[in-house]
Amino acid sequence: MKKIYVSVLVALSIYSSAQNVFNAKLHEMNFGSSSEPGNLAKLNDLIIFPATRFNDEGRELWCFNSVTQKSSLLKDIFPGHNSGLSGTPSFVKVNGKIYFVAQENFSGYQIWATDGTVAGTVKEKDLGTNYAINNLVVAGNKIFYYVQNELWSYDTISKELLKVKTFVYSGDVKMYAFNNELFLAADDGVYGKEIWKSDGTLAGTVLLKDIVPNAGGSASGDFNIIQLHNKFYFIANLGASGYALYESDGTEAGTVSVKPLRAPSLNGISADNYFVFEGFDPDAGGMEPWVSDGTAAGTKMLKNLRPGNTSSMANSKFIKVNNKIYFDSNTNGVSTAYGNYVWETDGTEAGTVLFNTPPETVLYGKSSEGKHLILTKPNYWNRYWITNGNFSQTFEITDIGMPYNNSFIDLNSKIYLTGTTPKNGTELFYTDPVSQTSSLATDISKFESAEPHSFDVLNNELIFVSGDRQYNDQFYKRNKNTHQFERLSNFGNSSFVGMFSNAKDTFFKVGNYLYTKNGTPNPMSGLYRTDGTAANSTVLSTSPGTVTYDNSFYINLNDNTLLFSGYNNVLGTELWKIDNTSDTAVLVKDISTDDMGSMYNTDSRTAVLNSFAYFVAKENGKLGIWKSDGTSAGTSKAIQFTYQNGGDGDIKVLKSFNNKLFFTKRKEGSTSFSQNELWASDGDQASAVLLKDHTIPFGDGNISRETEVLNNKLVYVTTGYFAGLHSTDGTVAGTTEILSSNFFSETQFKKCGNQLFFTNNNSSQLWRTDGTAGGTFSLSSNLSSVKDMVCVNNYLYFLNGDSQKVWKTNGSASNTMAMDIFVTNDDNQLLANENIEKLATDGERLYLSIATKEHGSELYEITDTLPVYLATDDIRNTDGKNTRPDIQIYPNPVTDYFSVKTKGDYKIETVKIFDASGKLIKNLASPTDKINVSDMSSGIYFIRIKTDKGEHLGKIIKK
């Protein structure tokens, strides 16, 4: 029979791309702080508004594009954490641009303009004042403002800024535009408070009319005007003659009295042929709605809503929508009881009727194009109802919170407004009047961090801790079926408390559960546990006052019990446990009566051997290795050395392997603090054997705490003199040096395929070994700090200090390289000093925690198909039988079906089939006895078989 040989260490590398770039998808979890958009202004399909993105940018000018559904910063007007736009800025539209006042430094204010683009957002003029300007009024092509008793105009065409008049203090000065001129009531110190007009020039700024000569002026009250039929109307105070309704066409001659009235100011609004206002007649109805067509005869009470001399209104609001006028009243026209009601009128008494609204609502305003009336409720001013005049279509916005002052912008059949949700904070939302639902339009401020951490894998799903704005830190997972990220827990019940956890915390796996501690940064009682479901993600209790620390140990005992060292003020640090079926931890044994307990400040490395947990504890001041089966009776001292000087050798647990317990200690008589002796034991003192004394023949080699198993041997590093890489099978003869080299500082190990990777020189070097001297060498010696080593498809991935790159290697120096990150679903790529914090994997994909200025620390997923590296020493016959005893793939070559046979009780979890380009063709969970490949084209395919004992890689030939 013809044989096909695959030679020893044949390396097959499959790439999906030749570029050294990883595509990454941002998964935002904490949508962060609030941008607080306000004073929304519509400009064509754009909405212009001030907002705050993050703390060191301040409140600046933003634009939302309703077509692209994206927002963008138009200008950081005042660089740094200061705000270019503060308070409630006034936006006015002139010739297709929005004009506003802003501050670019502390030297004063400027007038700016924007057309909704970055390039078109420019400073127009320095205003030369440090006083805030809260109101701009447009008349023609000119913008007017009033500040410190001075009236100014800015010509948007000529760019001329001009102070047109100085007045004396005139109280609250209101300005109005009429026929391209500005009108206001102010006191010039000569005529009293009278009406002035201005065309924006010195010569054109004149007194309209001295209505009450030689007196304090006619505008003694609140100066309001109502425009109708190319005229405007106002109330004049005629002194002893009382008040009168006046009209003006903007000229002195055309400013004349219409009719005496008893109202001190004109509070109302106009429709096409009439205006309605709050009129007063103490002898006939009190304060009631009045109507006027601009004539004396046509100026009269509209309707006496509350008969008698009791008023039905006071400082009511008037709003025009669809040529009808709506106004507030304290009566429904029937009952004598007081309440809050809204009326509508067409200008006739018969047409003045009660408007059907939700109980106790009042007018707030209208949407920008007058398509909808906005209602609110006294004492609940952040609640809003939307109506188009049809009560059946009137609804309250209940799915978002809202501020007391809001803008409602009509745009593309939606109403844009400022809203708040626990998830997003206060941002720009829109409400659909048809579905009566609200949605997020844009989330500008997302700089608060989710800080995803504590990554682990359970049932082939990524489990981790992450925070959001509403729940703080909670359990999350990536659902392997939906590929979506799901929050599993709700610790704190949305009270912004969540878990007490930080980036250094890890999970401890016990059977089908993951545990993690409580109390970072301050130790607290309790633990957390999850099995990857929401139902079984719980907080666990410990004895009151019993806490765990960062240096506490945690042991998985028989996949059912978590043993841990816990501290309280009564016992000190002692041995505790909690079972997977319990919600409460209990004390296993109080080993020592020492003040701080038996495990205070002891080494945290542990091991499990023959259903016993082994750990270091202190009794009567002496360290020893103790063992426990989780019961008090089954907890006892296993190994302890007593030196002639009373010392204990600073004994430490290393690892259990090959039915042996490995531990280290300091040689008796040694003057150093090195762990220079390697021992093995069956778990007791009698069987303890010294495997290697690293002071012989001379020197003082220190055994590092990290170890790993490779080729059925335990691999470890010694530092100091002599330094080297060693392996042991648990016998003296089988404890040998692999390579002598200059190793120092603590080592990190990571097994990946049939290679073992490890760090050296404060993690500035990355090495690999196959367990032989020839196969042990440095891959790179110019690194800053190797961390977070993970293995996927026999490729090692790691981070190098604070960097924007992910490194990968297949064990050769030429294929050890840095990969750049390209974020596919964000407008911005990583900026300087925006670095990758953590790297994790679920065995299929890579996940990154990256901290950026805009998003904070968030989760990113590498979306590229990761390459596969096969390094095998298999020899396969044409019948597919594998000389390795644990896995067989047959028949091979295959026509329609093949099978996988495993040794003993191996359980096959998944079978993945890749084509020669590295593309995943099939992903079979819990595969059947016969795997169907009849639909696959002829060629060579690579098989990745995952069992409960590990992963195996092979290939098939498809006929």
Nearest CA-CA partner of 354 in 338, 369, 332, 339: 332
Peptide linkage before 722 cis (omega within 30 of 0): yes
547 within 8 A of 523, measured Cβ to Cβ? yes
Q: pLDDT tier at 884 (50, 70, 90 boundaries)?
A: very low
DSSP letters of 2-60? -EEE--TTEEEEE-S-SSSEEEEEEE-----S-----S-EEETTEEEEEEE-STTT-EE
**Sign of the C-alpha dihedral computed for residues 81, 83, 86 and 91 taken in this order:** negative
For residue 813, the 8-state DSSP code is G
Cα–Cα separations (whole angstroms), residue 427 to 40, 111, 587: 12, 26, 50
What pLDDT is attached to residue 890? 87
- pLDDT over 80 at 24, yes or no: yes
- pLDDT over 60 at 946, yes or no: yes
Q: pLDDT tier at 879 (50, 70, 90 boundaries)?
A: very low
Nearest CA-CA partner of 358 in 378, 333, 336, 338: 378
Nearest CA-CA partner of 549 in 500, 498, 585, 514: 500
Quick one: which H or E segment has residue 186?
Answer: strand 181-187
What pLDDT is attached to residue 550? 84
Q: Compute CA 174 distance to the chain's CA centroid, rounded to the nearest angstrom.
A: 44
Domain with 935, as residue range(s), is: 887-958
Q: Encode burial over 816-831: b for 16+ CB neighbours within 10 A, e otherwise.
A: beebebebeebeeebe
Nearest CA-CA partner of 277 in 225, 333, 336: 225
Q: Which amino acid is at 480?
A: K
806-809 and 817-823 as β-strands: parallel, antiparallel, unpaired?
A: antiparallel
Q: Judge residue 35's burial from the number of C-beta atoms within 10 Å of its C-beta, 0-12 exposed, 13-18 middle, 19 or more buried.
A: buried
Q: Based on the structure, what is the number of domains in the chain?
A: 1
- pLDDT over 70 at 782, yes or no: yes
Beta strands in 531-571 (DSSP E): 538-540, 554-557, 561-568
Q: How far apart are CA 959 and CA 218, in angstroms?
A: 103
| Per-residue pLDDT tens digits for 146-167 | 999 999 999 999 999 999 999 9
| Per-residue pLDDT tens digits for 414-465 | 999 999 999 999 999 999 999 999 999 999 999 999 999 999 999 999 999 9
For the record, the structure tokens of 141 come out as 């092509």
Greater confidence (308 vs 412) lies with 412
Q: pLDDT tier at 703 (50, 70, 90 boundaries)?
A: very high
Asked, for residue 896, whether it belongs to a domain, the answer is yes
Nearest CA-CA partner of 500 in 453, 455, 554, 536: 453
**Sign of the C-alpha dihedral computed for residues 678, 682, 688 and 690 taken in this order:** negative
Asked, for residue 345, whether it belongs to a domain, the answer is no
Q: How far apart are CA 528 and CA 538, in angstroms?
A: 6
Whether this prediction's pTM lies above 0.85 is answered by no
Q: Kindly state the percentage of the chain with pLDDT values over 90.
A: 78
| Per-residue pLDDT tens digits for 707-726 | 999 999 999 999 998 899 99
Greater confidence (79 vs 920) lies with 79
Q: pLDDT tier at 13 (50, 70, 90 boundaries)?
A: very low
Total residue count of the chain as it appears in this document: 959
Q: pLDDT tier at 883 (50, 70, 90 boundaries)?
A: very low
Least confident of 267-271, 306-310, 465-469, 676-680: 306-310
Q: pLDDT tier at 521 (50, 70, 90 boundaries)?
A: low
485-512 average pLDDT score: 88
Nearest CA-CA partner of 706 in 750, 769, 767: 750
Number of H helices, E strands in the chain: 0, 83
Asked, for residue 235, whether it belongs to a domain, the answer is no
Asked, for residue 945, whether it belongs to a domain, the answer is yes
Asked, for residue 944, whether it belongs to a domain, the answer is yes
Asked, for residue 952, whether it belongs to a domain, the answer is yes
**Sheet-wide strand order for 713-721:** 700-710, 713-721, 724-728, 736-740
Backbone angles phi, psi at 387, to 5 degrees: -145, 145
Asked, for residue 934, whether it belongs to a domain, the answer is yes
DSSP letters of 435-451? TTEEEEEE-----S---
CATH of the domain at 954: 2.60.40.10
What pLDDT is attached to residue 494? 59
Peptide linkage before 697 cis (omega within 30 of 0): yes
